[in-house]
């Protein structure tokens, strides 16, 4: 983008090797009864409450300490600066979408504290001050200096684009210049133990036009796999990036690395990088991703496991990893225009990401299991608090992911009742969506160009949709409509033209690959983009872990406006197994136990909404022995 352009573009701009280019956040207004209220909660509840927690836990104090404005010991974990920066980015996105003077004042005050903490040489990390100053850049593997720097740069760019104010942006540029003076060819070798800096540097290059930032991002990508940080798969340092064919190690680090590598591809067109990205994407989506779009199955190392290692109650599925999955697929979507990437974005958003925050906007999951006995609950904060501000910045930026443009048209990626004003060439096109999505698959899009003009409108047919109809001004359109693809409508558009998209949205029984051993003889319920679960509070007469769902059971969808903020539930009948025969025994011979069952009525709710009421067992995957024989 041009230097000084005051539009908040989400994470990728007009890159030369991008097929699609984002529409800025402030050009889109969400008006629906699903995402719009969540965005409002982020603005009115989440961002203010998180700022208070940043103060209460000493994270902002650390900046005052570093500048000499306050005395005392450093507080918290060595990477706590990053939580402040992610909050700042969320606040910048929120301000761009809905300007608020009180929020702006709070941001400005925080920017003053950050700027005052910066050293004369541009270095900025509050942990490495005073007695720890001599340890700077000595342990890139573990100490997260480059990770924190990346989050500062991203926050600074977002705030600069939202307001035009340069103070934080200049701080970020000075820090980036310091890093570029330390690392690079003929300088110090190194790579970050926790990727993040790579995508930040590319975005800084896009904002300033200074190629040294892009070259430094390439430097960090190119030096992975040389053993500079120990050579472990956990740090994705076991082989060069271009040779990778499997997502491994710490899930967030892996996916943040992929984000940075995709950004480098979008600026350089390096096909060897893109080939590796595609191998990694297929490995993840085909063998290592939960039905919710969550990733990273192991608690140990917050890591990807082996192929098909997807336990339910022991699932880690960190909220940050689902967010990273969304971020990476966004970049891949811009690079290719392929709807399969938008499908994963939507899956992760409505399930693995939204589950990470409570309906009141003040409590969070770090870990997102797919089965639980009632012990796992959201918390107000964490010692390692990466997830709360991360989900705040993702949801605050959400309007910027709905639309993109290309040389010949406008692309619609996500659906919600909304209005967008999109510049296409020299024309301004207003698009209005009217829909109850994700609860309903009927979507009406009104197109109002300022001037009549010919262009293509690309509407996404989600991969979950087996049958779709597209009408223009009430008449069916010719052409093959394929699920998991964009459907192109090319014409001379006039004011008031209407496209009606009808997506068949039945309740589906989803099964796993047979090698996902824990899900053998089990099904999950899914309707449209929403994954469902059974929770005790809706099913008090039996243990939801004990039910068996037959293939011939009729399932119905029912709108419940007063439940969990308004949701569609799934109702049906199943068999509940009587477990009392076992008494206190854990194991018995099959011949000694007659399996007794009784018919029960059950209610399933959207997975994202679980654990917002009283404690009790929950499960996504339901026993259904017929599944392998249907």
Spatial contact of 116 and 168, defined as CB atoms under 8 Å apart: no
Euclidean distance between CA atoms 30 and 414, whole angstroms? 11
Does 386 qualify as catalytic in the annotation? yes
Strand partners, 32: none
Euclidean distance between CA atoms 463 and 486, whole angstroms? 10
Q: What are phi and psi of 202, to 5 degrees?
A: -65, -40
Does 302 qualify as catalytic in the annotation? yes
Give residue for tokens 């889109």. Answer: 28
Euclidean distance between CA atoms 497 and 499, whole angstroms? 7
Query: Residues 6 or more apart from 437 whose CB is under 8 A from it?
Result: 32, 34, 415, 416, 417, 443, 528
Six-digit token pair at 188? 């110090």
Euclidean distance between CA atoms 87 and 97, whole angstroms? 15
CA distances from 98 to 29, 92, 389, 451 (A): 10, 10, 18, 28
Which candidate in 27, 148, 386, 465 is catalytic?
Answer: 386
CA distances from 177 to 112, 174, 182, 513 (A): 20, 5, 9, 49
Euclidean distance between CA atoms 369 and 383, whole angstroms? 20
Which candidate in 302, 318, 346, 535 is catalytic?
Answer: 302
Six-digit token pair at 180? 């570029």
Q: What are phi and psi of 475, to 5 degrees?
A: -115, 135
**Spatial CA neighbour of 481 closest among 465, 492, 493:** 465
Euclidean distance between CA atoms 508 and 481, whole angstroms? 20
Spatial contact of 365 and 355, defined as CB atoms under 8 Å apart: yes
DSSP 171-209: HHHHHHHHHHHHBSTTSB----SS--HHHHHHHHHHHH-
Euclidean distance between CA atoms 154 and 175, whole angstroms? 12
Query: Residues 6 or more apart from 5 whose CB is under 8 A from it?
Result: 161
CA distances from 366 to 78, 176, 370 (A): 19, 30, 13
Euclidean distance between CA atoms 536 and 512, whole angstroms? 24
Spatial contact of 523 and 549, defined as CB atoms under 8 Å apart: yes
Euclidean distance between CA atoms 114 and 60, whole angstroms? 9
Euclidean distance between CA atoms 398 and 322, whole angstroms? 14
Active site residues: 302, 386
């Amino acid at each position: 983008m041009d230097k000084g352009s005051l539009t908040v573009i989400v994470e990728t701009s007009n890159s030369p090797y991008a097929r699609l280019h984002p529409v800025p956040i402030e050009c889109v207004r969400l008006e629906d009864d699903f995402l719009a209220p969540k965005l409002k909660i982020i603005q009115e509840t989440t961002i203010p409450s998180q700022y208070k927690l940043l103060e209460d836990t000493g994270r902002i104090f650390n900046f005052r300490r570093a500048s000499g404005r306050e005395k005392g010991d450093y507080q918290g974990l060595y990477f706590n600066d990053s939580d402040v920066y992610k909050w700042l980015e969320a606040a910048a996105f929120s301000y761009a979408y809905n300007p608020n003077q009180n929020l702006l004042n709070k941001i400005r005050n925080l920017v003053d504290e950050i700027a005052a903490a910066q050293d004369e040489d541009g270095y900025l990390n509050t942990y490495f001050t005073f007695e720890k100053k001599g340890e700077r850049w000595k342990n890139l593997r573990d100490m997260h200096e480059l990770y924190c720097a990346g989050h500062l740069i991203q926050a600074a760019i977002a705030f600069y684009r939202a307001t035009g104010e340069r103070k934080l942006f200049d701080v970020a540029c000075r820090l980036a210049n310091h890093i570029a003076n330390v690392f690079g060819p003929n300088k110090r070798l190194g790579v970050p133990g926790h990727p993040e800096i790579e995508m930040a540097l590319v975005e800084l290059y896009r904002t300033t036009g200074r190629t040294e930032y892009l070259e430094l991002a390439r430097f960090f990508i190119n030096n992975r796999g040389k053993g500079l940080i120990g050579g472990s798969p956990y740090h994705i340092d076991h082989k060069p990036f271009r040779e990778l064919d499997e997502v491994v190690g710490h899930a967030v680090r892996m996916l943040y690395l992929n984000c940075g590598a995709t950004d480098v591809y979008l600026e350089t067109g390096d096909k060897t990088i893109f080939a590796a990205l595609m191998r990694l994407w297929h490995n993840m989506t085909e063998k290592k991703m939960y039905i919710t779009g969550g990733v990273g199955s192991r608690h140990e190392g917050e890591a990807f496991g082996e192929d098909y290692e997807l336990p339910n109650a022991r699932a880690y599925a960190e909220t940050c990893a689902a967010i990273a999955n969304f971020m990476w697929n966004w970049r891949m979507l811009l690079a290719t225009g392929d709807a399969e990437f938008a499908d994963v974005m939507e899956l992760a958003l409505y399930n693995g990401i939204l589950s990470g925050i409570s309906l009141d906007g003040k409590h969070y999951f770090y870990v997102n299991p797919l089965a639980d006995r009632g012990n796992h609950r959201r918390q107000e904060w964490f010692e390692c608090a990466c997830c709360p501000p991360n989900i705040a910045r993702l949801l605050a930026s959400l309007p910027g992911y709905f639309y993109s443009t290309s040389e010949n048209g406008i692309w619609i990626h996500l659906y919600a009742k909304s209005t967008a004003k999109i510049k296409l060439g020299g024309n301004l096109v207003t698009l209005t969506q009217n829909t109850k999505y994700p609860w309903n698959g009927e979507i009406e899009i009104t197109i109002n160009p300022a001037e009549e003009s010919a262009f293509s409108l690309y509407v996404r047919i989600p991969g979950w949709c087996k049958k779709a109809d597209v009408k223009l001004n009430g008449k069916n359109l010719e052409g093959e409509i394929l699920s998991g693809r964009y459907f192109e409508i090319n014409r001379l558009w006039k004011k008031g033209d209407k496209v009606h998209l009808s997506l068949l949205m039945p309740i589906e029984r989803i099964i796993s690959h047979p090698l996902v051993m824990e899900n053998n003889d089990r099904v999950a319920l899914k309707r449209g983009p929403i994954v469902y679960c059974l929770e005790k509070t809706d099913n008090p007469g039996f243990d939801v872990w004990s039910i068996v769902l037959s293939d011939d059971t009729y399932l119905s969808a029912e709108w419940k406006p007063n439940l969990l903020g308004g949701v569609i539930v799934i109702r049906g009948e199943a068999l509940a197994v009587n477990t009392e025969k076992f008494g206190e025994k854990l194991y018995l011979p099959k011949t000694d136990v007659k399996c007794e069952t009784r018919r029960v009525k059950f209610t399933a709710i959207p997975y994202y909404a679980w654990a917002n009421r009283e404690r009790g067992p929950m499960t996504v995957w339901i026993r259904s022995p017929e599944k392998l024989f249907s």
